[in-house]
Amino acid sequence: MQTFISDSEAETGRIAQEICKKIPSGSLVLFTGDMGAGKTTFMRGALQAYGNDAFVSSPTFALVNDYGGDPHIYHFDMYRVDSVEDLFSTGFFDYLGADSILFVEWSENIRSFLSPPFFEIDIAKTPAETQRIITVKGSGF
Ligand SMILES: Nc1ncnc2c1ncn2[C@@H]1O[C@H](COP(=O)(O)OP(=O)(O)OP(=O)(O)O)[C@@H](O)[C@H]1O
Ligand SMILES: [Mg+2]
Give the model's pLDDT for residue 62.
Answer: 79
* Domain parsing of the chain, residue ranges: 2-137
Give Cα 12 to chain centroid, integer Å. Answer: 13
108 alpha carbon to ligand 2 midpoint, in Å?
13
Give the model's pLDDT for residue 60.
Answer: 79
39 alpha carbon to ligand 2 midpoint, in Å?
5
41 alpha carbon to ligand 2 midpoint, in Å?
7
Ligand 1 pocket, residues with Cβ under 6 angstroms: 6, 8-9, 12, 33, 35-41, 58, 105, 130-132
88-114: per-residue pLDDT in tens?
988 899 999 999 999 999 999 999 999
7-31: per-residue pLDDT in tens?
999 999 999 999 999 999 999 999 9
**Closest to 31 in 3D by CA, of 63, 78, 89:** 78
pLDDT of 59 > 90? The answer is no
3-state secondary structure of 112: helix
Give the model's pLDDT for residue 99.
Answer: 97
Residue 132 CA: which ligand 1 atom is closest? 1
Q: List the beta bridge partners of residue 32.
A: 122
Residue type, 35: M
pLDDT-based confidence at 32, cuts 50/70/90? very high
Residue 31 CA: which ligand 1 atom is closest? 21
Give the model's pLDDT for residue 116.
Answer: 96
**Closest to 107 in 3D by CA, of 91, 90, 120:** 120
Choose which CATH entry (1.10.30.50, 2.40.110.10, 3.40.250.10, 3.40.50.300) describes domain 2-137: 3.40.50.300
Ligand nearest to the CA of 126: 1
Give the model's pLDDT for residue 1.
Answer: 98
